[in-house]
Amino acid sequence: MFTEELVREHTYVPRIVEEAEGEKRSMTLPSADPPGEAGRAMTHSDFGYLSSQAAAVTPRVNDEPLVSDLVPQALSWSSLNGLVIGDKNHKRSGTVPGIGLVHAPFSLLPSPFPRQAFSQAIELAPLFNLLADRVSQDAEFLQQTLARTRKADHFIARLLDIHLQMLDEGMKQKIRLGLHRSDYMLDTATGELLQVEINTIASSFPALGSLVASLHRHLIDWCGDGLGLEAENVPQNGAVDAFAQAFALAWKEYGDNRAVVLMVVCPEERNMYDQYWLALKLFQSYGIKMIRKSFTQVLAEGTLGDNNTLFIGKQVVSVVYYRAGYSPDDYPSESEWDARLLLERSAAVKCPNISYHLAGAKKIQQELAKPGVVERFFENKEDITKVRSCFAGLWGLDDENSAAIIEEAIRNPEGFVLKPQREGGGNNIYGADVSKKLVELRDTDGGVGLAAYILMQRIFPPVHPAYLVHDGIWSCEETVSELGIFSAYIRNGNKEVLNTEAGYLLRTKSSQTNEGGVAAGYAVLDSVHLI
């Protein structure tokens, strides 16, 4: 079972920055001369360097024998090491483990990424943990910021209702657990690393993302000098270990050795193996069991005991981890909402609790980008500058100052992305559809529906060639990449237990594709080759 020795033995150590004797000290990344100096934005010449390195990372298109040799090696490695998802062509692949397996879509080789920008994203992780936690504690800010959105978005309204009910009932979550992912893209127009969004619920692929980095290091070693790449420039990705450690520490803070961790899942889930990896790591490293239940099962089997202790059957639950519940599709009836309320009322540590969930809303992200709003939560000017340095252009559509930006987006839709308050990929609106949707929203019901969306500056990242592997078939395409930095945060009352980056996720897609979710079928899993 769980012991202090086990915690020390399996503690995940951040790769870039760690605390030592009260001071922050930099850890050494694999050596190379990065484009751009630390602390400044990339320049157009830097992006030229990036493009040349991309060509070096990717074997020549006409070198088909090398690629054809690599692909079977990658596919066999993926099958042997659990880099798999459920096959959509098999009707039971999302419900029965071990049935209908297929490799997860992946990039054959790692994609080039500037060392300086990678380090910047890592450094920002603890700050965004703190920001999410502080925003979650400001009930007035959450309710007021989302007040107009509530009228236009039924899903947000239901989440806000639960939040208000918890406030009215005096429920206080002493132990907070956040497993977040902040997503970024390099922007060629500004030369900056810009934040796409921060995810506070169901941040996926910590396990399969970790495996892809291992796959790429294996392929580089297997080819020897044949690729001209160095495995040491592909950072080890410890996301799955970091998540397991966070669950174990939250379990320990809860203080009941009988307890299990509950993962709330969709009734049908093709990405179940990313989830099962977490359960396996948690048990192997700490002796803690993780059980899986849908909302329907939670409602049927869940009860609250003394002091709101959560039971699933006869099992005490110390931590509730949501891998479902982020989409309206996860609540097809009132039963699912009743289950969510039961969990929220419980004394179990929720990841996330309702306030953390709301803190990740697109509207909250947009509000934080306004002048003076981050200052509501941070006093340190250096921290404020660092956080603001990655903000893209963000605009609300629901106030008296919105008319001008709406008209600008209608005239020049290619420069914007229209975002609803949704997670999971496939929801954003691009190109000419931005104009059409804005006109429709503006001219319907007095424009009330505009409050359900925000506008974001469209980020145009550098394009690089890559070999993408789907269903055992490879293709060479011009691609773009999005970097996600996982982070873990635990607070027990006023005691900060954990605040660290927790690995990374790189998703790569065709440059002709707008959306970017792997589970939604738009992108592939990838890793970084630092340059």
Phi, psi (deg, nearest 5) at residue 83:
-85, 70
Catalytic residues: 181, 197, 199, 204, 362, 419, 423-424, 507
Residue 476: CB atoms within 10 Å: 17
Q: Which residues of 268-302 are buried (b: 16+ CB within 10 A; e: fewer)?
A: ebbbbbbbbbbbbbbeebbebebebbbbebbbeeb
Angle of helix 334-345 relative to helix 154-168, nearest 10 degrees?
Answer: 30
Q: What is the DSSP string of 209-225?
A: HHHHHHHHHHHHHHHGG
* C-alpha distances out from residue 190 to 99, 362, 389, 465, Å: 47, 22, 11, 22
The strand ranges marked E within 115-202 are: 175-187, 192-199
CA 325, 498, 194, 376 torsion: positive or negative?
Answer: positive
Classify burial at 498, counting beta carbons within 10 Å of its beta carbon; exposed 0-12, middle 13-18, buried 19 or more: buried
The secondary structure of residue 391, as a DSSP letter, is B
352: cis peptide before it, omega within 30°? yes
Amino acid letter for position 205: F
Amino acid letter for position 515: E
Amino acid letter for position 45: S
- CA dist 216 and 62 (Å) reads 21
Q: Which residues of 194-218 are buried (b: 16+ CB within 10 A; e: fewer)?
A: bbbbbbbbbbbbbbbbbbbbbbbbe
Residue 337: CB atoms within 10 Å: 18
- CA dist 60 and 476 (Å) reads 10
- CA dist 88 and 102 (Å) reads 9
- CA dist 524 and 81 (Å) reads 17
Phi, psi (deg, nearest 5) at residue 501:
-65, 160
Amino acid letter for position 12: Y
Give the pair of three-digit tokens for residue 26.
């930099």
CB distance 269 to 94 below 8 Å: yes
* C-alpha distances out from residue 217 to 53, 77, 229, 398, Å: 18, 12, 9, 48
